[in-house]
Amino acid sequence: MSANKKKSDEPSYAELSGELEQILDEIESGEIDLDELSDKVERAATLLSQCRKKLAATETKVKKVTTELQKAMDEQEGTNEYTDE
């Protein structure tokens, strides 16, 4: 199994946002019947929710990594203070 594949073949943010953009284009075209419009709006809401979850998860990961990097840099600076004399 490829390391790039997400668990259970979950769609990527790019795939989700691409489908959402396509739905929005269809809705904005005005050439969609009422029954289909309802389905499209429901699907768009689902996609939006999934995108938000992915963004939140990514934000959490980025904050964790940047915190760890800052901690490592602070520790390195502390070590350098004692070795620079």
pLDDT by residue, tens only, the chain of 85 residues: 444 555 668 999 999 999 999 999 999 998 889 889 999 999 999 999 999 999 999 999 999 999 999 999 988 887 766 555 5
Q: Vertex 34, ends 33 and 35: CA angle to 5°? A: 95
| pTM of the predicted protein model | 0.71
Q: What pLDDT is stored for residue 80 in this prediction?
A: 67
Q: What pLDDT is stored for residue 53 in this prediction?
A: 97
Q: What pLDDT is stored for residue 2 in this prediction?
A: 46
Burial label for 47, CB within 10 Å (0-12, 13-18, 19+), is buried
Token pair of 33 as six digits? 């019947």
> Long-range contacts made by residues 67-73, C-beta under 8 angstroms, separation at least 24?
none
